[in-house]
Structures are given as structure tokens and as C-alpha cells.
Amino acid sequence: MKKNTEVVSGLVSEEHPFHQAQTQPGKAKQHRYERRKIRNILKIGDWGGEIAYEEAS
């Protein structure tokens, strides 16, 4: 017997009930992005420290 899934797919909405939830990054992605951003800022800060150290010596 062949099952008809068209009826079920018509009833189930693929969209999230809150339209803004799809545009927000997941919590894990958001934290990973923030950690990466902070890591890049620290790297830039380290470069600035090395340049100042080289100029002083």
C-alpha cells in the first residue's frame, strides 16, 4: 500500500512559528562567533605589543 504524504505535508508548516527565530544564529554559533572575534582582537593586541617592543629596543 502506498502512503500519501501530501496531506501531512500540507498540514505541517515548515516555517518557524516565530519568524525572527530563523534569522538569529543558534546559541552555539553565536558563542563560537564571539570567541573567534575576541581571539582576533587579542591577536591584534599582541601584534601591537610586539611592534612597540621592537621600537623600544
CA atoms of 25 and 17, how far apart (whole Å): 16
54: pLDDT strictly greater than 60 = no
- Give the end-to-end CA distance of the chain in Å, rounded to a whole number: 84
Give me the pLDDT at residue 15, please.
72
Give me the pLDDT at residue 30, please.
74
Domain boundaries, the chain: 26-57
Which residue carries 515548515 as its cell? 14
Give me the pLDDT at residue 33, please.
84
CA atoms of 57 and 12, how far apart (whole Å): 69
CA atoms of 49 and 57, how far apart (whole Å): 13
Give me the pLDDT at residue 24, please.
67
CA atoms of 26 and 16, how far apart (whole Å): 14
Give me the pLDDT at residue 55, please.
58
